[in-house]
Structure formats: structure tokens, C-alpha cells
């Protein structure tokens, strides 16, 4: 029993059954599993909406999957899932409902928070966003000097940056190519400087996106942007109204900044920052792709929500992916998880997933406040696959670590250059080849048969048995992007539920913020910080001397 009177996860009979199964499973090779079951590729695949998900190259059997599902049931995954959809306050440490799924639910449905049906206000904001986006896109919204808005700069950080930026990159072929979109997040002034240096302030709109509107990086950048704008437009402060809009849950702070709250797009505390890009936080994305494509994306999210809510566990894609992660993290000591998209448009996808997964499940305290004695969230990492092949795939193939990986690809080339018709097939051949090499490797005998000198045989042997999931779709459309993001959101949910942690708070980011605030006067004015450790104190002194202070 743990402090909250629940049986500790690792003492559940289902957990212990998995440990025994793992011991019996040791030494089993994927080559053998495929040989034993000619139907394996067909049986270990699931289709949801537009996604085909192949999980046959995992170190699992029917028995493994059955035991993992039993663990999920024993840990209360379905109960917690239903509580989330019902608007219960499952974010226990912040006493909040978790209802990002309401953001993509059709208006005719009822979703209650504290007894109030929130679907009306969700759709009102979507309509307000659509009207605004069209005004910008059609040139009806003019800048202070009467110019058309051609540049949109989103200022935000974390969930108020990564989602819109990732989706903008992913959906570039759907964006207004005659407009410029930039995303500024870093408190390093270089970020804003590089984003605006070639822009005309008269034609530039800033979207200040911050759930709390107190995040120091965002407010600092927004203030600097306001200065840049006013300097460029002759200093008339009334210009701010035409060039700044806000996305926030905090109307008071928005007004304090000088933004007209009529130009504020609202969302609610039951939407977590990292789960928010399908809320008003996606405003700059909506300007880029238009309200219709944004709606298609929401429909994609909703499709996956419904699947997660209703599909039986054995065919439930987020449940399967979540449980596979648990199998490796908790029973094979895997510390990380690679996400490797074979799509240039998904260049920001893994960066987005890092916040989604690591801020959600990087925890070591149970929901009831006890210590966690089992591994929780993995380090999520990766870049587009072909580039990775020439960088870190060496370690994936022959290193000593277990690193499960997701390979993502699309059948349809999005923008193939006229003369290079085969380029997309080449890209996809690489994706399939990597999954194959990782799973099946190359034996010493196969290497020898190629006439390789004996001394080189061990170096040129590939052990294989390295697990991958392959996710394919016909094309990277707005709907497919929504389906993919919801798939990962719910996968993270399943894992957090099994690990008995609150996936929806983020207390771990607070200490660094508070310390930075305390240290800043020491850097600028040489103020004394009581109790400062010797190392940090020496670093601050060195910094000040390098700055000539």
C-alpha cells in the first residue's frame, strides 16, 4: 500500500505478472516472432481515421498485450479517461477540469464544467477568431496608417508558441504564401530582433499569446515589440490597438498591457497550456490557414477523441501506444523515446511533443502526494528521420540503449519539384528501410556471406530487435495533423494514468522562474542575494566582469 491507501503500482499482481513475463521473454527476437506468425503484420496494425499504425515491430506477443491491458484496467485508465471527458477535476493539484477535448467537440454536444455547458462559449470564440482571421486575410483589418496587414508575429512561449509554430510548419502548403508568419518565444532579445528586423511595422500585427499573461518572457517580448512598433510609427500610442491582439484567460492583465479587450480571444483554465493550440492560442495559425482548414484540423482531433473514448482497449490506438511505452520504460529500462518524422513539414513536431510529454509526465510524486518508485515519462527527442540517419541513427542501430522509436510518413508528396519525380519514393524507402534494419538487423553469418574480412564482422553486424511503430497516412492534411496530435495527447494521458501522476500540472517549472527573478538584480545592479551558493555567486561575478560592470 502507498500513503493514499492504494496498492502501489509495482505491487499490483498485474505489474508482477508483467515482470515475470518480461523475464520469460528475454532473448526472444523479432526475427523469430515474425517467423512464428505469418499474420503478425496484419494482426498488429490498427487503422483510425486516416492513420494506419503498424506496431508489429514491437517486442510483444498476444500475452504481453493482454497483460499490459490488464495493468491499464487495474490502474484505472478507463475510469480516469471517462472522468476527463465528463469534466471532473482530474488535475488534482490545481483542482481543475481537463477539457481540451471540448475545444474540438461539435456545438450540438453538451460538455459541462461545474454544471455549465461550455460548448456555447467554445464556439463563440471560434466564430470570433474566424471573423478576425478573415478580416486580416481579406485586407479589411488595416494598420494604424491604413496599410494592409501582411506580417503576423506570434509572441508566446511553451504551449503558447510550440503548438501554433509546429502546426504552421506542418501545414505550410495550406498557408497564405503572400503573408509572413513568425513565432517569437525566447527572452533572448535576438529572437524578436531577427523576427522583425526586415518587417514594416505599418503592416505588422502582433498576437500576444499567454494563458496567464504574466509569463515574463512573453510580456518582456511584447513590451519590446510595442516599443519597436511605436518607434516605427512615430510614437502615437493609439497605434497599439490596430497592431496588437491578445489570446489569454486573463482579461485584466491584457487591459493593463494596453490591448483593447475587444481584441482579446479567450480560453479557459480547463485548457492546459500544452493542450491549447486548438483553442484561441491557434489564432495566428488560423490567420495562416483560414478558418475552414482550422475547422478540418479540429474535426481530426475530434475523430481521435471519439476513438479514444469508445474503442475497445485492444484496438485503441492511444492506449496501445501508451502501453507499449510502459512496457519499454518500466520493464526494459528504456529511458528515452525517439519520434522521427519522414516529413520536412514535421520539423517542429518532436519539439512540440517534448513539452506535451515531458511537461505532462516528468513527475515523481503520485496524484495522492506519495513518492513514485517506478520510471515515469521518457526523454522525448528526434528530428526529421533522413537527417537523423546521418547523425544519431548509428546509436539507434548499434548502441547499447533500448530506444523505441516512432517513424511517421505520408504517401503523397506535398511539393515535389517537377524534375525529381522519384524523390518522395526515395524518402519513404528510407523510412521503411530503417524500420526493417532496426527490427531485423543483419547477422554475423549474413555479413560473412558478403565476404567481409573476419576482423570486421563484429563491427558490421546489426543486432536488430529494436522496436518501432510506423504511422502512415495518405497526406499531411489539417485533419491528419489533428488526428496525430490527439493520438499523442491521449497516449500521454494513458501513461500518466498508469503511473498515477497528475499529467496536467507543471510545478517543476516554478523554482527556476522564481530563482531567475531573485537573481536578476544581482546581474544588473550587483545586488546581494542572501544565501546565494558559492558557484552561482562566482558565475554572476564573472558575468558582471565580462560585461564591464
Is there a catalytic annotation at residue 390? Answer: yes
Is there a catalytic annotation at residue 223? Answer: no
* Cell 512615430, residue located: 234
DSSP codes joined into one string, 122-146: HHHHHHHHHHHHHHHHTT-SB-TTS
Q: Which is nearer to ligand F6P, 158 or 325 (CB)?
A: 158
* Cell 508568419, residue located: 181
Q: CB 155 → ligand F6P: shortest distance, Å?
A: 10
Binding to ligand F6P in span 145-164, by CB under 6 A: 157-160
SS3 178: coil
Per-residue CA distances from 394 to 331, 399, 422, 521, 528 (Å): 24, 7, 26, 46, 49
Q: Which is nearer to ligand F6P, 8 or 211 (CB)?
A: 211
Q: Which is nearer to ligand F6P, 470 or 506 (CB)?
A: 506
Contact status: 509 vs ligand F6P (CB under 6 A)? yes
Q: Count of CB atoms within 10 A of residue 423's CB? A: 12
Binding to ligand F6P in span 333-372, by CB under 6 A: 359
Q: Count of CB atoms within 10 A of residue 301's CB? A: 24
Q: CB 156 → ligand F6P: shortest distance, Å?
A: 6
Alpha helices, H only, 38-76: 40-43, 62-75
Q: CB 379 → ligand F6P: shortest distance, Å?
A: 18
Contact status: 100 vs ligand F6P (CB under 6 A)? no
Q: What is the CA radius of gyration of the chain?
A: 25
Which among 429, 351, 349 has a CA at the least distance from the CA of 386?
A: 429
Spatial distance between the Cα atoms of 34 and 45, rounded to a whole number of angstroms: 14
Strands (DSSP E) contained in 30-167 are: 45-48, 51-54, 112-113, 116-117, 151-155
Which one of the listed residues 39, 390, 459, 510 is annotated catalytic? 390
Binding mask 404-443 for ligand F6P (x = CB under 6 A): ----------------------------------------
Which one of the listed residues 359, 424, 490, 491 is annotated catalytic? 359
Stretch near ligand F6P under the rule CB under 6 A, chosen from 117-125, 208-216, 285-293, 297-305? 208-216
Stretch near ligand F6P under the rule CB under 6 A, chosen from 5-13, 207-215, 297-305, 401-409? 207-215
Q: CB 163 → ligand F6P: shortest distance, Å?
A: 9
Q: CB 104 → ligand F6P: shortest distance, Å?
A: 19
Binding mask 478-507 for ligand F6P (x = CB under 6 A): ----------------------------x-
Spatial distance between the Cα atoms of 22 and 59, rounded to a whole number of angstroms: 10
Cβ atoms 55, 105 nearer than 8 A: no
Q: How many residues bind ligand F6P (CB under 6 A)?
A: 14
Instruction: For residue 270, give the DSSP letter.
Output: T
Q: Which is nearer to ligand F6P, 210 or 330 (CB)?
A: 210
Is there a catalytic annotation at residue 307? Answer: no
Nearest-10 Cα torsion for 176, 210, 227, 183: -40
Q: Which is nearer to ligand F6P, 359 or 489 (CB)?
A: 359
Spatial distance between the Cα atoms of 350 and 357, rounded to a whole number of angstroms: 10
The cell for 151 is: 506580417
The cell for 400 is: 547499447
Spatial distance between the Cα atoms of 183 and 302, rounded to a whole number of angstroms: 26
Among 2, 210, 383, 389, binds ligand F6P (CB under 6 A): 210
Binding to ligand F6P in span 221-280, by CB under 6 A: 273-274
Among 56, 64, 175, 218, binds ligand F6P (CB under 6 A): 218
Spatial distance between the Cα atoms of 365 and 411, rounded to a whole number of angstroms: 42
Which one of the listed residues 140, 193, 401, 513 is annotated catalytic? 513
Q: Which is nearer to ligand F6P, 211 or 466 (CB)?
A: 211
Q: Which is nearer to ligand F6P, 361 or 465 (CB)?
A: 361
Q: Which is nearer to ligand F6P, 275 or 440 (CB)?
A: 275
Beta bridge partner(s), residue 382: none
- Among all residues, which ones are annotated catalytic? 359, 390, 513
Which residues of this protein are in contact with ligand F6P, per CB under 6 A? 157-160, 210-212, 215, 218, 273-274, 359, 506, 509
Amino acid at each position: 500500500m502507498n500513503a493514499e491507501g492504494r496498492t502501489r503500482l509495482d505491487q499490483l499482481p498485474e505489474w508482477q505478472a508483467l515482470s515475470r513475463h518480461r523475464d520469460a521473454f528475454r532473448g526472444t527476437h523479432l526475427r523469430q516472432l515474425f517467423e512464428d506468425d505469418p499474420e503478425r503484420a496484419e494482426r498488429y496494425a490498427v487503422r483510425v481515421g486516416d492513420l494506419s499504425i503498424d506496431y508489429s515491430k514491437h517486442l510483444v506477443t498476444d500475452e504481453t498485450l493482454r497483460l499490459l491491458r490488464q495493468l491499464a484496467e487495474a490502474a484505472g485508465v478507463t475510469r480516469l479517461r471517462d472522468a476527463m471527458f465528463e469534466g471532473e477535476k482530474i488535475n488534482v493539484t490545481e483542482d481543475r477540469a481537463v477539457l481540451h477535448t471540448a475545444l474540438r467537440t461539435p456545438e450540438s454536444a453538451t460538455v459541462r464544467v461545474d454544471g455549465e455547458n461550455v460548448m456555447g462559449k467554445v464556439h463563440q470564440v471560434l466564430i470570433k477568431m474566424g471573423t478576425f482571421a478573415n478580416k486580416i486575410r481579406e485586407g479589411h483589418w488595416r494598420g494604424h496608417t491604413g496599410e494592409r496587414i501582411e506580417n503576423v508575429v506570434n509572441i508566446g512561449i511553451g504551449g503558447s508558441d510550440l503548438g501554433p509554430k509546429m502546426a504552421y510548419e506542418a501545414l505550410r502548403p495550406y498557408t497564405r504564401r503572400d503573408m509572413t508568419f513568425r513565432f517569437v518565444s525566447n527572452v533572448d532579445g535576438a529572437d524578436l530582433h531577427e523576427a522583425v528586423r526586415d518587417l514594416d511595422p505599418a503592416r505588422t500585427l502582433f498576437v500576444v499569446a499567454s494563458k496567464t499573461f504574466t509569463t515574463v518572457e512573453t510580456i518582456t517580448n511584447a513590451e519590446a515589440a510595442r516599443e519597436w512598433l511605436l518607434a516605427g510609427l512615430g510614437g502615437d500610442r493609439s497605434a497599439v490597438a490596430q497592431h496588437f491582439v491578445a489570446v489569454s484567460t486573463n482579461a485584466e492583465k491584457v487591459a493593463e498591457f494596453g490591448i483593447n479587450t475587444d481584441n482579446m480571444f479567450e480560453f479557459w483554465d480547463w485548457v492546459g497550456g500544452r493542450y491549447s493550440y486548438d483553442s484561441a492560442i491557434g489564432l495566428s495559425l488560423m490567420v495562416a490557414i483560414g478558418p475552414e482548414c482550422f475547422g478540418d484540423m479540429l474535426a481530426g482531433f475530434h475523430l481521435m477523441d471519439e476513438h479514444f473514448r469508445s474503442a475497445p482497449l485492444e484496438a485503441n490506438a492511444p492506449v496501445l501506444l501508451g502501453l507499449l511505452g510502459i512496457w519499454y520504460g518500466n520493464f526494459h529500462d528504456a529511458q528515452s523515446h525517439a519520434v522521427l518524422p519522414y516529413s520536412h513539414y514535421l520539423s517542429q513536431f518532436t519539439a512540440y511533443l517534448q513539452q506535451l510529454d515531458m511537461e505532462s509526465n516528468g513527475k515523481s510524486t503520485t496524484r495522492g502526494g506519495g513518492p513514485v518508485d517506478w520510471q515515469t515519462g521518457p526523454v522525448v527527442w528526434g528530428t526529421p528521420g533522413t537527417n537523423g540517419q546521418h547523425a544519431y541513427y548509428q546509436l539507434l542501430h548499434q548502441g547499447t540503449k533500448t530506444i523505441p522509436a516512432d517513424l511517421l510518413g505520408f504517401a503523397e508528396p506535398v511539393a515535389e519539384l517537377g524534375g525529381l519525380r522519384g524523390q518522395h519514393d526515395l524518402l519513404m524507402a528510407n523510412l521503411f528501410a530503417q524500420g526493417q534494419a532496426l527490427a531485423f538487423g543483419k547477422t554475423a553469418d549474413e555479413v560473412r556471406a558478403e565476404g567481409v574480412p573476419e576482423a570486421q564482422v563484429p563491427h558490421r553486424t546489426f543486432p536488430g530487435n529494436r522496436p518501432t511503430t510506423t504511422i502512415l497516412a495518405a497526406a499531411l492534411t489539417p485533419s491528419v495533423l489533428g488526428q496525430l496530435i490527439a493520438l499523442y495527447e491521449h497516449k500521454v494521458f494513458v501513461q500518466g494514468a498508469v503511473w498515477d501522476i497528475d499529467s496536467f500540472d507543471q510545478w517543476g517549472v516554478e523554482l527556476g522562474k522564481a530563482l531567475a527573478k531573485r537573481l536578476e538584480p544581482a546581474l544588473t545592479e550587483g545586488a546581494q542575494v542572501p544565501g546565494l551558493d558559492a558557484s552561482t555567486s562566482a558565475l554572476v561575478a564573472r558575468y558582471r566582469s565580462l560585461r564591464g560592470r
